[in-house]
Amino acid sequence: MRKIHLILTGLSLTILLLSINRLTNLTQSYLQPYDFLRWLDFNAMIPIPLISVILYYLLKKEIVYDSPFRKTAKYTFLMVLLISGIYFFAAGSGDHEVTNYLNTRFCDNGAINTPACKIIGYNDDEFSHLIYYIGFVLMNVALIFIEYNYPRKILAKTKDLFFIFLNGLFIALGIFANLAFEEIGLDLLFFGSVMVLTHYVLFIKKRKVKQLPVTFYFSISYTIGVMGTILYKSLTGAL
pLDDT digits (tens, 9 = 90+) for 165-178: 999 998 898 888 77
Three-point CA angle 44, 87, 93, nearest 5°: 20
* Burial of 22: CB neighbours in 10 Å, binned 0-12, 13-18, 19+: middle
Phi, psi of 161 (to 5 degrees): -65, -35
**pLDDT > 90 in the chain, percent:** 66
The stretch 81-93 carries a mean pLDDT of 96
**Rounded distance, CA 93 to CA 109, Å?**
26
d(CA 87, CA 5): 26
Nearest to 216 by CA among 230, 199, 204: 199
Q: What is the pLDDT, as a whole number, of residue 91? A: 96
Mean pLDDT across 85-104: 95
Reported pTM: 0.89
- For residue 150, give the amino acid letter: Y
